[in-house]
Amino acid sequence: MALISVDEALERLLQGTVALPAEGVDLTEANGRVLASDLAATRTQPPFPASAMDGYAVRAADLAHPPATLTVIGEAPAGHGYSGKVLTGEAVRIFTGAPVPDGTDAILIQENAQRDGDTVTALETVSKGQFVRPAGLDFHAGEVLLRAGTRIGFRELALAAAMNHARLPVHRRPRVAILATGDELVPPGTEPGPNQIIASNHAGVAALVEDCGGTPIHLGIAPDRPEALNERIAAAREANADVLVTLGGASVGDHDLVQDALGGAGMALAFWRIAMRPGKPLMAGHIDDMRVLGLPGNPVSSLVCSLLFLRPLMDALLGRPPAPRVGETLPLAVGVGANDQREDYLRAALTHDAEGVEQVTPFPRQDSSMLATLAQADALVIRPPHAPPLAAGARVPILRLPRSRG
Ligand SMILES: Nc1nc2c(c(=O)[nH]1)N[C@H]1C(S)=C(S)[C@@H](COP(=O)(O)OP(=O)(O)OC[C@H]3O[C@@H](n4cnc5c(N)ncnc54)[C@H](O)[C@@H]3O)O[C@H]1N2
Ligand code: MOO
C-alpha cells in the first residue's frame, strides 16, 4: 500500500464521524465538557438598574452646584432595595448591587459625601447614570451566549450559572481504550528485565485524551502473542470504547501483530502507512462503531500522531469544529535541509531575536525515540513533502505544542 498524505489520512479518519449523544450534567460536573446545544440566557442580568458602588442614590440634577445637602429618606442594601419614590432634594443610602430606587439616576460614592444624621452633603457633582448599571448591561433574556461545540471552562461555567442553568447539555465523553503492545515493555514503577524498557506512550496518550475531554480506559500492556492481543481487543469492545488506540506493533516487523489481530476482530481498514515523519506506520479503521487508531510504537511518533489525529477525532466525537492543522508561520533562526517525500514534524524551540521577533529553531537531533526533546519543544516545524532547503529567516509553518504553565 502506498503512503498517503497527512491530509488524506485525516480526511479518511474523520469521514462519517458524528458527535456522541448529549447528556445532562450538573454545573458542578460540567468543567471541561463540550456543549451539545446553544445556551440562551433565561434571564436578564442585571435584572434591574443596580448600583455599582457604596454611597447614595441621588438625582444628578440636585448636585449641580456642590456642596449640596440632601435628606436621606431610606436605605437600599443588596438583595432588598428601597420601595418608595425619591423626590428632588432626597437621597437613599445604597450599597453595591442594590436596585437603584425610583426617581434617582446616579450614585454619589460615599467618599464624596458627608453624612450628618438624616442628611448627606455631596462634595462633588455626579453625572446622570454615574455608577448605575442599567438592566441588561451584561446580557438579556433569550440571548445565545454560549454556542454548541464550546468547551466549558471557568469563564463559561460562571456565565452559564449567571444565565441560571443548573444543568448543561453536553456531549458524552469519548471513551478511549489504550493498549500498549510489546514483550519489551514493563509498566512505570517496575524493574525492567535485561532486555526491557519502561512503557511510556500509554501515559502520554491517556493524558492527551483527558485534555481533549475524553475518558481513558487502560488496557495495560499486551505481550507479542496473538491470543493476548485478541483478549485485549475484546476487552475494549466490552468496555464500550468509542475509540481503541493501540501502541506499537504497527510496522512491518515479524512481531508486529497488531494489524492481523485487529483484522481478525473484523476491523475495516481506513488506511495504513502515511507520508509523515514521525508516524509512518500509522493505521486507522473501525470495528463496527468502535474507531481504531494504531499508533506507531516510537514514543515521539505515538504522541505527535495523537496530537495530529487523535485530537481531531476526539473533537469530532465531541461536536467541536476542527482546529486548523496549519495556520501560523514563523521565521527560522537557522537553515534547514531539503525534505524527502514524508511530511516532517520537527521538534523546535521558540525564542525572540534582538528586535523581539519570535523565531523558531528546530533541534539538531530528531530521532523519534527521544521523548526529552519532545518535552523541551515549544512547537513543531512542519516541512511539507519535497520542501527545498531553507536559509535562516525563511518562514515555516509551525504547530504550537500545548504547554502547562511553569
Ligand atoms: N523495516 C522497517 N522497519 C521500521 C519501519 C519501516 O518502515 N520498515 N518503520 C519504522 C518506523 S518509522 C517506526 S515509527 C517504527 C514503529 O514501529 P511499530 O509501530 O511496529 O512499533 P514497535 O516496533 O512496537 O516499537 C518501536 C519502538 O518503540 C518502542 N515502544 C513501543 N511501544 C512503546 C510504549 N508503549 N512505550 C514506550 N516505548 C514503546 C519499542 O520498544 C521500540 O523501541 O518502526 C520502524 N521500523
Ligand atoms: O515514523 Mo517513525 O514514527 O519515523 O519513527
Q: What is the mean pLDDT of the chain?
A: 96
The pLDDT, as a whole number, for residue 54 is: 97
Same-domain pairing of 35 and 161: yes
Q: Whose CA is nearest to atom 46 of ligand 1?
A: 251
3-state secondary structure of 205: helix
Same-domain pairing of 192 and 287: yes
The torsion defined by the Cα of 363, 365, 366 and 370, in degrees rounded to 10, comes to -100
Same-domain pairing of 152 and 208: no
Tell me the per-residue pLDDT of 245-288, one tens digit each, with 9 for 90 and over. Answer: 999 988 777 667 999 999 999 999 999 999 999 999 999 999 99
The pLDDT, as a whole number, for residue 326 is: 81
Grid cell for residue 66: 456642590
CA of 248 to the centre of ligand 2 (A): 11
Same-domain pairing of 121 and 184: no
Same-domain pairing of 179 and 231: yes
CA of 297 to the centre of ligand 1 (A): 4
Q: Note whether 206 and 178 are within 8 A (CB).
A: yes
- Last residue in a domain, options 84, 105, 133: 133
Name the residue among 275, 273, 209 with its Cα closest to residue 242: 209
For residue 132, the 8-state DSSP code is E
Q: What value does the mean pLDDT take over residues 347-365?
A: 97
CA of 165 to the centre of ligand 1 (A): 49
Query: ipTM of the predicted structure?
Result: 0.97
Is 92 contained in some domain? yes
The pLDDT, as a whole number, for residue 406 is: 52
Is 149 contained in some domain? yes
Q: What percent of the chain is modeled with pLDDT above 70?
A: 98
Same-domain pairing of 345 and 305: no
The pLDDT, as a whole number, for residue 252 is: 72
- CATH, residue 78: 2.170.190.11
Q: How many domains does the chain have?
A: 4
The pLDDT, as a whole number, for residue 288 is: 96
- CATH, residue 389: 2.40.340.10
Same-domain pairing of 178 and 118: no
Beta-ladder partners of 113: 122
User: Residue 283: what are its φ and ψ, rounded to 5°?
Assistant: -135, 145
**Among 197, 229, 273, 298, which residue has the most ligand 1 atoms within 8 Å of its CB, making it the best to mutate?**
298
Using a 6 Å cutoff on CB, does residue 301 contact ligand 1?
yes
Is 281 contained in some domain? yes
Same-domain pairing of 248 and 166: no
- CATH, residue 231: 3.40.980.10
The pLDDT, as a whole number, for residue 249 is: 87
- Last residue in a domain, options 83, 113, 133: 133
Q: What percent of the chain is modeled with pLDDT above 90?
A: 94
Using a 6 Å cutoff on CB, does residue 274 contact ligand 1?
no
Q: What value does the mean pLDDT take over residues 146-169?
A: 98
Using a 6 Å cutoff on CB, does residue 299 contact ligand 1?
yes
Which residue range is the domain that position 33 belongs to?
29-44+145-171
CA of 251 to the centre of ligand 1 (A): 7
Is 374 contained in some domain? yes
Residue 207 has pLDDT above 70, yes or no: yes
Is 406 contained in some domain? no
User: What is the per-residue burial (b if ≥16 Cβ within 10 Å, else e) of 217-238?
Assistant: bebebbebeeebbbebbebbee
Is 324 contained in some domain? no
Same-domain pairing of 177 and 309: yes
CA of 279 to the centre of ligand 2 (A): 4
Tell me the per-residue pLDDT of 316-355, one tens digit each, with 9 for 90 and over. Answer: 999 998 888 888 999 999 999 999 999 999 999 999 999 9
**Among 201, 301, 371, 380, which residue has the most ligand 2 atoms within 8 Å of its CB, making it the best to mutate?**
301
Is 322 contained in some domain? no
The pLDDT, as a whole number, for residue 71 is: 98
Same-domain pairing of 305 and 395: no
Q: What value does the mean pLDDT take over residues 59-80?
A: 96
Protein residues whose CB sits closer than 6 Å to any atom of ligand 2: 277-280, 296, 298, 301, 368
CA of 301 to the centre of ligand 2 (A): 5
Is 323 contained in some domain? no
Residue 84 has pLDDT above 60, yes or no: yes
> Which ligand neighbours the alpha carbon of 247 most closely?
1
Same-domain pairing of 241 and 118: no
- Last residue in a domain, options 108, 133, 158: 133
Place of cell 520542501: 387
Using a 6 Å cutoff on CB, does residue 295 contact ligand 1?
no
> Which ligand neighbours the alpha carbon of 178 most closely?
1
Q: How confident is the model at residue 2 (pLDDT cuts 50, 70, 90)?
A: confident
Residue 67 has pLDDT above 80, yes or no: yes
Between CA 163 and CA 153 the distance in angstroms is: 15
The pLDDT, as a whole number, for residue 210 is: 97
Same-domain pairing of 115 and 35: no
Tell me the per-residue pLDDT of 16-46, one tens digit each, with 9 for 90 and over. Answer: 999 999 999 999 999 999 999 999 999 999 9
Q: How confident is the model at residue 404 (pLDDT cuts 50, 70, 90)?
A: low
